[in-house]
Amino acid sequence: MTNKFNNQQEIVEYLNSQAESGDHRVLIAAIRTVVRDKGIDPVAREACMTIEEVGSTLSGKTEPSFSAILKITKALRLKLHFTIA
């Protein structure tokens, strides 16, 4: 499997570009892409979640909890950043 992202900066740029849409579903799908690229197993372990919990959170079938998204982004070594809209 070839990694889509070569480094953390590429991940940040990708997620920021997807967040620009203002649609949380687009951002969740982008986070799912990053998790798949990094490997769901290590991300779940780092987030102290099961693989099933990570998969369910990012499935797009339900509204994910904010705390679950924070756990996953922290496991990806990312943090949220706010600016004036």
pLDDT of residue 83: 84
Whether 80 is in a domain gets the answer no
The answer to the question of residue 12 being in a domain is yes
Task: Give the CA dihedral 63, 40, 72, 67, nearest 10 degrees.
Answer: 40
- Structural domain boundaries enclosing 42: 8-75
Instruction: Report pTM.
Output: 0.92
State the total domains in the chain.
1
| Residue 82 belongs to a domain | no
Q: Report if residue 81 sits inside a domain.
A: no
Per-residue pLDDT of the chain (85 residues; tens, 9 = 90+): 567 999 999 999 999 999 999 999 999 999 999 999 999 999 999 999 999 999 999 998 989 999 999 999 999 999 988 888 7
Say if residues 53 and 75 touch (Cβ distance below 8 Å): no
Tokens of 69: 């998204």
Helix or strand (DSSP H, E) at 60? none
What local confidence, expressed as pLDDT, does residue 80 receive? 87
45 occurs within a structural domain: yes
Closest CA to 85 of 34, 19, 35, 24: 19
